[in-house]
Chain A
Amino acid sequence: MKGLFKSKPRTPADIVRQTRDLFLYADRSNSLPDLRESKREEKMAELSKNIRDMKSILYGNSEAEPVAEACAQLTQEFFREDTLRLLITCLPKLNLETRKDATQLVANLQRQQVNSRLIASDYLEANLDLMDVLMEGFENTDLALHYGAMFRECIRHQIVAKYVLESEHVKKFFDYIQLPNFDIAADAAATFKELLTRHKSTVAEFLTKNEDWFFADYNSKLLESSNYITRRQAIKLLGDILLDRSNSAVMTRYVSSRDNLRILMNLLRESSKSIQIEAFHVFKLFAANQNKPSDIVNILVANKSKLLRLLADLKPDKEDERFEADKSQVLKEIAALEPRDLA
């Protein structure tokens, strides 16, 4: 009987089921002290091999392209039960190579469609607490890059991004993108950007609801950070957010605040040209606003000559027609401004 089964090749679903059993084993193994070490190692090696096998089913390998039917079977079985949760909780017990394979496996699964449905999204919707686990990964140097990559893949699903934006997690990103480890901080920054730009309607809704604290924190923690790279990334992302059509209401309110204008004018004076240029792309919105509040007008008028001089000298390294056009428009706006009585 056994021989019969052995000769049959494993189906993708078989591999998923076996992997699940091995995960359960790995999860338990620490609490079984009488277990032989060699036995444990054998099982872990088997687990590593299974994860790699699943990866090559989904991505293909040097000999074969991936087969749609096999991918669908694997994905279906994977999400039929709680395999993703097991994978995430067992990740710390896997070796480096297997962690990388597991991360790529999870990334691919987010994009697999079964009967033209992204079933990963359905699974995550019912298991949103997994995002909390992944989020904690940013604080563990060994796991951060793996959990971080999975996290970014998961927020491809709108429902997941919405959950994260509405949770307390979003606040933590202000700190994570300033972690001393560059690779982790940069990974967090990439995720933060994805979170605030990918799903337009969700982002607009989030910003409208959380405008006050969000921009206050954004200004004080990011735009006024002592860290060059934080300021640089933050000003770029701010431009991307405000210039997006779906955020126009938020933008209009943003450019009516004198606090915001003060910060932007400081960024315009930075010694880094890259920051100056990015700051200009936000500053121009203040100048172009046709309904400028009086206090904004008065600040611009008070600094008129300085601004005109500064802007005239500001040039990107590469020739940029659009930049020049924007600049002359802004120069014209500011030059024409007259002081106003405060209403």
Chain B
Amino acid sequence: MARNKLEFPLEAEAYEIICKIGVGVSASVYKAVCIPMNSTVVAIKAIDLDRSRADFDSLRRETKTMSLLSHPNILNAYCSFTVDRCLWVVMPFMSCGSLHSIVSSSFPEGLPENCISVFLKETLNAISYLHDQGHLHRDIKAGNILVDSDGSVKLADFGVSASIYEPVTTSSGTTSSSLRLTDIAGTPYWMAPEVVHSHTGYGFKADIWSFGITALELAHGRPPLSHLPPLKSLLMKITKRFHFNDYEINTSGCGKKKFSKAFREMVGLCLEQDPAKRPSAEKLLKHPFFRNCKGVDFVVKNVLQCLSNTEQMFIESQVLIKGVEDDEEGDEEILKKRRISGWNFREDDLQLSPVFPTTESDSTSEGDRHRDKPEGDKVVITGSEVGLGFSNRKEEAKEQEGEVVGFDRDLVLEKLQLLKKSLEHQRARVLVIIEALSGEREERSREEELLEMVEKLKIELEAEKMKTLRAEKESVLG
């Protein structure tokens, strides 16, 4: 069994850092070349060890997982070694970044279905292998699915993954032979209901749920419920007052997108409330949706070639090859914190729906470009970004072309209002970027925000309770 692991040098001097391509709470990701290996391009994740717990147990598990897993759809590590206070994990460089950054930079309304199926199938291969190995990934989402320019797709970030064969509780000496886990881990929008709240624990099927959410994320450009704060999205799942299937149909209606029956059915299976009813990864691979799936060449031509590279994407939008977040810290309390730090970062990102004119109008509205437009038109495009799909935008742009000739005060005013709103959004987004880059946002402010959130939710919950009570009374009286 030859592993290429041995070939990569274990000292910092052998690598030349080119630039930073991602940043998270306690780690950064760099693009680098490995000089003695013909300057092979690699990604290096540098994890700040001073922020890790002293037993380094979760880091040990993560790097061990990454070096023992061997599958074309899984991002494994070439090697890992310490450099002063950092742990460097050397990995293959995936030049197109994550599906999350691809979607938010170039496909804010979601990817075409025939591309989604390619990405999902590759991801599902990885999940099927992982599950066969006894591993739960526990954090499946577009941000953790990385893509290279040749179309290879790899599932990344084993920071919170778990093995059913290696019970985390070492002290008590209990064997977990029941193949179930109970600790909470993951990112709220993608978390299965039984992970959030279950008496009996959860298993592999929790990954299948997250896979379903990821499918929706690719289809719509963001995960369902992302217009809500993450905690509320969790609450919805627990109380089951919300049906994902309804959501899916609703939004696909308003986005004027048609999804095939096979796709909708496949997602529906993944999002069964009852984990037992969800298919296994292996079974899901046989679903008709994946049967006539195109090859990776198709996505290379249709998606990847029109992207800017990872470095640019990072500079443009700060959001990264994920897998960078808090990689550490095994215990539950900190895992919870991880979730929070996650949404601070990402929630804004998704809420403000990263629809930005610069990259996007270049890559998507090619039709408009030929027409050599007057300057006033550009303003309109920017303004109409707010909340409007780009299919509408083109129409509006055409409309505007006519209007520019005969000056209409009301219309211009309206457009300017839109523009103002858009600029405000941009401003907010820039602030997020500044915060993320300067790392100024402190733990405390996050905690405070959380407390506020909890307060708000409490009040809402109370109001709901009252309503239900009243309704009940009324129905009794009536």
- If A62-B204, A95-B1 touch, whether A189 touches B179 (CB-CB below 8 Å) is no
User: Restricting to B1-31, which residues have a CB under 8 Å from any CB of A?
Assistant: 1, 3, 5-6, 10-11
- Asked if A29 lies at the interface with its beta carbon under 8 angstroms from chain B, I say no
- Asked if A228 lies at the interface with its beta carbon under 8 angstroms from chain B, I say yes
- Asked if A232 lies at the interface with its beta carbon under 8 angstroms from chain B, I say yes
Inter-subunit contact A62/B49 (CB<8 Å): no
- Asked if B56 lies at the interface with its beta carbon under 8 angstroms from chain A, I say yes
- Asked if B133 lies at the interface with its beta carbon under 8 angstroms from chain A, I say yes
Task: Give the docked Cα–Cα distance between A305 and B389 (Å).
Answer: 68
Task: Give the docked Cα–Cα distance between A136 and B173 (Å).
Answer: 26
Inter-subunit contact A59/B164 (CB<8 Å): yes
Residues of A within 8 A of B54 (CB): 232-233, 236, 274, 278
Task: Tell me which of A66, A156, A190 has the highest count of chain B C-beta atoms within 10 A of its own C-beta.
Answer: A190
Residues of B within 8 A of A66 (CB): 177
Task: Give the docked Cα–Cα distance between A246 and B67 (Å).
Answer: 38
Residue-wise interface mask of B (72-93) relative to A, using a CB-CB cutoff of 8 A (1 in contact, 0 not) = 0000000111101101000000
Inter-subunit contact A96/B50 (CB<8 Å): no
Inter-subunit contact B56/A60 (CB<8 Å): no
Inter-subunit contact B177/A186 (CB<8 Å): no
Instruction: From the candidates A97, A156, A317, name the one contacting B173 in the complex (CB within 8 A).
Output: A156
- Asked if A193 lies at the interface with its beta carbon under 8 angstroms from chain B, I say yes
Inter-subunit contact A180/B204 (CB<8 Å): no
Inter-subunit contact A60/B179 (CB<8 Å): yes
Residues of A within 8 A of B84 (CB): 228
Inter-subunit contact A59/B80 (CB<8 Å): no
User: Restricting to A219-237, which residues have a CB under 8 Å from any CB of B?
Assistant: 227-229, 232-233, 236
Inter-subunit contact B49/A96 (CB<8 Å): no
Task: Give the docked Cα–Cα distance between A66 and B443 (Å).
Answer: 45
Q: Which residue of A lies closest to B54 (CB)?
A: A236
> Which of B58-66, B137-145, B230-238 is near enough to bind chain A?
B58-66
Q: Which residue of B lies closest to A274 (CB)?
A: B50
Task: Give the docked Cα–Cα distance between A269 and B80 (Å).
Answer: 29
Inter-subunit contact B177/A180 (CB<8 Å): no
Inter-subunit contact A186/B60 (CB<8 Å): yes
Closest CB in chain A relative to B116 CB, distance in Å: 27
Task: Give the docked Cα–Cα distance between A317 and B166 (Å).
Answer: 31
Inter-subunit contact A181/B10 (CB<8 Å): yes
Residue-wise interface mask of A (284-296) relative to B, using a CB-CB cutoff of 8 A (1 in contact, 0 not) = 0000000000000
Inter-subunit contact A182/B164 (CB<8 Å): no
Instruction: From the candidates B6, B68, B280, name the one contacting A62 in the complex (CB within 8 A).
Output: B280
- If A59-B179, A232-B49 touch, whether A100 touches B133 (CB-CB below 8 Å) is yes
Residue-wise interface mask of A (98-117) relative to B, using a CB-CB cutoff of 8 A (1 in contact, 0 not) = 01100010011001000000
Residues of B within 8 A of A96 (CB): 1, 3, 68, 70
- Asked if A129 lies at the interface with its beta carbon under 8 angstroms from chain B, I say no
- If A59-B164, A96-B70, A111-B175 touch, whether A229 touches B49 (CB-CB below 8 Å) is yes
Residues of B within 8 A of A104 (CB): 134, 165
Instruction: From the candidates A59, A97, A233, name the one contacting B165 in the complex (CB within 8 A).
Output: A59
- Asked if B332 lies at the interface with its beta carbon under 8 angstroms from chain A, I say no
Residue-wise interface mask of A (31-63) relative to B, using a CB-CB cutoff of 8 A (1 in contact, 0 not) = 000000000000000000000000000111010
- Asked if A200 lies at the interface with its beta carbon under 8 angstroms from chain B, I say no
Instruction: From the candidates A59, A142, A180, A228, name the one contacting B11 in the complex (CB within 8 A).
Output: A180
Interface magnitude class on chain B: 35 or more
Closest CB in chain A relative to B51 CB, distance in Å: 8
Inter-subunit contact B63/A186 (CB<8 Å): yes
Inter-subunit contact A180/B81 (CB<8 Å): yes
Residues of B within 8 A of A186 (CB): 56, 59-60, 63-64
Residues of A within 8 A of B172 (CB): none
- Asked if A258 lies at the interface with its beta carbon under 8 angstroms from chain B, I say no
Inter-subunit contact B56/A233 (CB<8 Å): yes
Prevailing SS type, chain B contact patch: loop
Inter-subunit contact A187/B85 (CB<8 Å): no
- Asked if B57 lies at the interface with its beta carbon under 8 angstroms from chain A, I say yes
Instruction: From the candidates A142, A194, A229, name the one contacting B82 in the complex (CB within 8 A).
Output: A229
Closest CB in chain A relative to B94 CB, distance in Å: 21
Instruction: From the candidates B68, B80, B443, name the one contacting A145 in the complex (CB within 8 A).
Output: B68
Inter-subunit contact B57/A190 (CB<8 Å): yes
Closest CB in chain A relative to B68 CB, distance in Å: 6
Task: Give the docked Cα–Cα distance between A66 and B175 (Å).
Answer: 12
Q: Which residue of A lies closest to B66 (CB)?
A: A183
Closest CB in chain A relative to B315 CB, distance in Å: 30
- Asked if B475 lies at the interface with its beta carbon under 8 angstroms from chain A, I say no
Closest CB in chain A relative to B62 CB, distance in Å: 9
Task: Give the docked Cα–Cα distance between A228 and B56 (Å).
Answer: 13
- If A65-B177, A96-B68, A278-B54 touch, whether A181 touches B79 (CB-CB below 8 Å) is yes
- Asked if B178 lies at the interface with its beta carbon under 8 angstroms from chain A, I say yes
Residues of A within 8 A of B56 (CB): 186, 189, 229, 233
- Asked if B55 lies at the interface with its beta carbon under 8 angstroms from chain A, I say yes
- Asked if A272 lies at the interface with its beta carbon under 8 angstroms from chain B, I say yes
Task: Give the docked Cα–Cα distance between A99 and B69 (Å).
Answer: 12
- Asked if A141 lies at the interface with its beta carbon under 8 angstroms from chain B, I say yes
Q: Which residue of B lies closest to A183 (CB)?
A: B63
Task: Give the docked Cα–Cα distance between A221 and B63 (Å).
Answer: 25
User: Restricting to B177-216, which residues have a CB under 8 Å from any CB of A?
Assistant: 177-179, 204
A-B contact pairs, 28 of them (CB 8 A): A59-B177, A60-B177, A95-B1, A96-B68, A97-B133, A99-B1, A100-B68, A107-B165, A108-B175, A180-B10, A180-B81, A181-B81, A182-B81, A182-B82, A183-B63, A183-B64, A183-B67, A183-B80, A186-B60, A186-B63, A190-B55, A228-B49, A229-B49, A233-B55, A236-B54, A272-B50, A272-B85, A278-B54
Interface residues of B (CB under 8 A from A): 1, 3, 5-6, 10-11, 49-50, 54-57, 59-60, 63-64, 67-68, 70, 79-82, 84-85, 87, 133-134, 164-166, 170, 173, 175, 177-179, 204, 280, 443
Q: Give me 20 other A-B pairs in contact (C-beta within 8 A), A62-B179, A186-B60, A233-B54 excluded.
A: A58-B177, A60-B177, A62-B204, A111-B175, A141-B5, A180-B81, A181-B81, A182-B79, A182-B81, A182-B87, A183-B64, A187-B64, A189-B56, A190-B55, A190-B60, A228-B82, A228-B84, A229-B87, A236-B55, A272-B50
